[in-house]
């Protein structure tokens, strides 16, 4: 595992770069090729898997970020996904005409508005959630799990009370339906949009975390919150903003997931939380990069296995997780931690 050659005498100690897990994704894709058979099907599956992975990443990134910084495990994260999904109704109601208009610009603007509305709503609810539900139980994982489960139940029921308990269909904007066809390769348009948004968010997060002052503080807070506080920074304010950002990211993921499923249910967030947990465990709790790799890994495996041996697809996620944990019990990118 420690195949890195560290030349410590001449350089400052650098962050240990660990490329091995990154190789897993291309290795897996290549491994799947002979089993899938036809290359065009393989490309279709791979692109679909990447898109799926991006959506999972969008939903999971907030959770792993919050865990990394605040050491809080939020089992109620799923309800922010649902809330984000339902927030699209606030936009789709008055602007229904934009969805049916046959104009890519108008459709994308609608998607963007949905995303903004969802992020605003989940951000606000996240702030309340942090204040009311999470703050009293900092430091105790057991109570966090219990209390955030309670918050999940209450918020889910509140969604039922406000929007009704029956599933609500939401249509995909006109020009995002259908697929691009290049020869034998089929790429759903919406999945391409999902890949673009997912990559943009990942790049944005990486830049924010690694190239800005705030990112530096966040990373420092992950390593040693007391020291950051001692240096005069208000770590609490940082905590709250990261929690709000994490909730807003879940809202963003919720919108993408809602348009993908094209149905809204209050339980949709909790259903996808299973995948989210698997992904952040695989990635290493608290690691954004690990979360990204884990999402793609899980989604690709699910797609390949679903094509090759559909019966096995039901438990393929669990198998991937088990294998990764046997290899690295802390996940792919273990985060140094108290």
Which of 39, 136, 171, 178 touches other proteins (CB under 8 A)? 136
65 near other proteins (CB under 8 A): no
Are 333 and 21 in contact by the 8 Å Cβ rule? The answer is yes
Tokens for 284? 């290493």
CA dihedral 20, 25, 26, 29 (to 10 degrees): 140
* Least distance (Å) between residue 97 CB and other proteins: 28
Rounded distance between C-alpha atoms, residue 63 and residue 281, angstroms: 11
Part of the chain binding other proteins (CB under 8 A), chosen from 29-37, 41-49, 159-167, 176-184? 159-167
* Least distance (Å) between residue 165 CB and other proteins: 7
273 near other proteins (CB under 8 A): yes
Round the CA-based radius of gyration of the chain to a whole number and report it: 20
* Least distance (Å) between residue 194 CB and other proteins: 23
Note the Cα 51 to chain centre separation in Å: 12
312 near other proteins (CB under 8 A): no
Which of 36, 43, 270, 296 touches other proteins (CB under 8 A)? 270
Question: Measured from the CB atom, is 8 or 142 closer to other proteins?
Answer: 142
167 near other proteins (CB under 8 A): no
* Least distance (Å) between residue 161 CB and other proteins: 5
Question: Measured from the CB atom, is 63 or 170 closer to other proteins?
Answer: 63
Which of 20, 161, 196, 216 touches other proteins (CB under 8 A)? 161
* Least distance (Å) between residue 335 CB and other proteins: 11
330 near other proteins (CB under 8 A): yes
List Cβ<8 Å contacts ≥24 apart for 158-167: 159/79, 159/82, 159/83, 159/86, 159/266, 160/266, 163/86, 163/89, 163/264, 163/266, 165/266, 167/263, 167/264, 167/265
Q: 184: exposed, middle or buried (C-beta count within 10 Å: 0-12, 13-18, 19+)?
A: exposed
Which of 20, 128, 153, 182 touches other proteins (CB under 8 A)? 153
Sign (positive/negative) of CA torsion 152, 157, 252, 51? positive
Are 111 and 173 in contact by the 8 Å Cβ rule? The answer is yes
89 near other proteins (CB under 8 A): no
Q: Would you tell me the crossing angle of helices 288-308 and 268-283 to the nearest 10 degrees?
A: 110
321 near other proteins (CB under 8 A): yes
73 near other proteins (CB under 8 A): yes
143 near other proteins (CB under 8 A): yes
Question: If residue 264 lies in a helix (H) or strand (E), which one and from where to where?
Answer: strand 263-264
Question: Measured from the CB atom, is 127 or 158 closer to other proteins?
Answer: 158
160 near other proteins (CB under 8 A): yes
Question: Measured from the CB atom, is 108 or 145 closer to other proteins?
Answer: 145
Part of the chain binding other proteins (CB under 8 A), chosen from 7-15, 41-49, 106-114, 273-281? 273-281
For other proteins, how many residues bind (rule: CB under 8 A)? Answer: 42
104 near other proteins (CB under 8 A): no
The helix/strand/coil state of 116 is: helix
Question: Measured from the CB atom, is 119 or 320 closer to other proteins?
Answer: 320
Q: How far is CA 40 from CA 25, 45, 46, in A?
A: 19, 9, 10
Binding site for other proteins (CB under 8 A): 73, 75, 133, 136-137, 141-143, 145-147, 149-154, 157-158, 160-162, 165, 270, 273-274, 277-278, 280-281, 285, 311, 314-315, 317-318, 321-322, 325-326, 329-330
């Amino acid at each position: 595992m420690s195949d890195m050659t560290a030349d410590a005498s001449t350089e400052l100690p650098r962050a240990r770069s660990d490329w091995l897990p990154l190789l897993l994704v291309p290795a897996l894709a290549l491994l799947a090729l002979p089993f899938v058979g036809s290359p065009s099907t393989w490309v279709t599956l791979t692109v679909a898997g990447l898109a799926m992975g991006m959506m999972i990443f969008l939903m999971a990134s907030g959770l792993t970020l919050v865990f990394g910084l605040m050491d809080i495990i939020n089992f109620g994260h799923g309800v922010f996904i649902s809330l984000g999904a339902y927030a699209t109704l606030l936009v789709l109601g008055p602007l229904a005409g934009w969805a049916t208009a046959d104009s890519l610009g108008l459709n994308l603007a609608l998607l963007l508005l949905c995303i903004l509305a969802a992020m605003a709503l989940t951000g606000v609810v996240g702030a309340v959630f942090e204040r009311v539900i999470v703050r009293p139980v900092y430091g105790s994982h057991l109570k966090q799990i219990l209390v955030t489960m309670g918050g999940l139940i209450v918020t889910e029921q509140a969604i039922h009370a406000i929007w009704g308990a029956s599933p609500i269909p939401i249509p995909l904007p006109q020009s995002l339906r259908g697929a691009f066809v290049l020869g034998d390769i089929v790429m759903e348009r919406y999945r391409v949009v999902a890949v673009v948004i997912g990559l943009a968010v990942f790049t944005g997060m990486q830049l924010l975390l690694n190239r800005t002052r705030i990112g530096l503080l966040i990373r420092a807070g992950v390593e040693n919150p007391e020291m950051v506080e001692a240096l005069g920074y208000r770590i609490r304010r940082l905590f709250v903003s990261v929690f709000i950002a994490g909730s807003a990211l879940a809202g963003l993921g919720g919108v993408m997931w809602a348009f993908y499923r094209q149905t809204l249910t209050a339980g949709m967030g909790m259903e996808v939380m299973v995948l989210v947990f698997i992904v952040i465990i695989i990635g290493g709790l608290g690691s954004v990069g690990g979360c990204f790799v884990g999402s793609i890994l899980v989604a690709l495996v699910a797609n390949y296995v679903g094509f090759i041996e559909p019966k096995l697809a039901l438990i393929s996620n669990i198998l991937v997780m088990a294998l990764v944990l046997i290899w690295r019990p802390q996940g792919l990118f273990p985060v140094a931690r108290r």
